[in-house]
Amino acid sequence: MTKQQANWSPYDNNGGSCVAIAGADYCVIAADTRMSTGYNILTREYSKICKLADKCVMASSGFQADVRALQKQLAARHLIYQHQHNKQMSCPAMAQLLSNTLYYKRFFPYYSFNVLGGLDNEGKGCVFTYDAVGSYEKVGYSSQGSGSTLIMPFLDNQLKSPSPLLLPAQDAVTPLVEAEAIDLVKTVFASASERDIYTGDKLELVIINAAGIRREYMELRKD
């Protein structure tokens, strides 16, 4: 008789896709609201987008229990920062904090794949993309999650950012105006939800510009 053993894992992957696009004076961060495990949908109304500061938002896919723990840790660190400095963190500062927080847990990582977007100190859009252990890069656009392998080639085709090896360094922000970027994100998710079973139900978009933060929603396929 073959020996059987329980194959337990502390991690799960709850699926879902996230996208962020930075423009000259705006940033669009979007994610679907489906949360799954295996072939089961746990809920169709789960927001993957978390506001970290007035001009900084994070979208996360992966293991949502770890994502929630990470969000609470960042909120606590940001509160301490506000008490010490009497101001909110800038988006680049929050990007560094997120990297440090993920790297600190590198031997038992937060199983979360994040994109962080917002406005920098000059009011320009910025997007930072991460792996699970804190390696990050400032980019003009990015995607994470179960649909990222479908979404990223499409964004590359439409937006094609300059090589980071070019000197002098080129600006990473995309040439689209805000309305075009929103339409592109909606198209991308409508496409991804056709092929990826973990992406669907509803699209949540967060648009950050000089006027503040606003949210938009779009229905996606529910099967």
Is a pLDDT exceeding 70 seen at residue 1?
no
User: Is 106 among the domain residues?
Assistant: yes
Is 92 a member of any domain? yes
Q: Are 69 and 104 in contact (CB under 8 A)?
A: no
Are 159 and 173 in contact, with CB atoms under 8 Å apart?
A: no
In a domain, 8, yes or no: no
C-alpha–C-alpha distance, residues 27 and 57, integer Å? 9
- As given in the structure block, the two tokens for residue 114 are 């994040």
Overall number of domains in the chain: 1
pLDDT confidence of residue 163: 74
Min mean pLDDT across 1-15, 68-82, 181-195 is at 1-15
Can you give the CATH number for the domain in which 69 is found? 3.60.20.10
Q: Is residue 4 part of a domain?
A: no
Section 58-68 average pLDDT = 97
Amino acid at 42: L
Q: 65-78 in b/e burial notation, b at 16+ Cβ within 10 A? A: ebbeebbebbeebb
Query: Pick from 99, 90, 20: which is nearest to 58 by CA?
Result: 20
What is the pLDDT at residue 175?
85
For residue 2, tell me if it sits in a domain. no
Enclosing domain of residue 63: 15-218
Residue 12 has pLDDT above 90, yes or no: yes
- pTM tops 0.85: yes
- Does residue 10 fall inside a structural domain? no
**Which residues touch 54 (CB under 8 Å, ≥6 apart)?**
88, 212, 213
Q: Is 113 part of any domain?
A: yes
Instruction: List Cβ neighbours of 87 (8 Å cut-off, separation of 6 or more).
Output: none
* Any domain includes 32: yes
- Going by their DSSP bridges, the two strands 125-130 and 112-119 should be labelled as antiparallel
Residue % of the chain over a pLDDT of 70 = 99
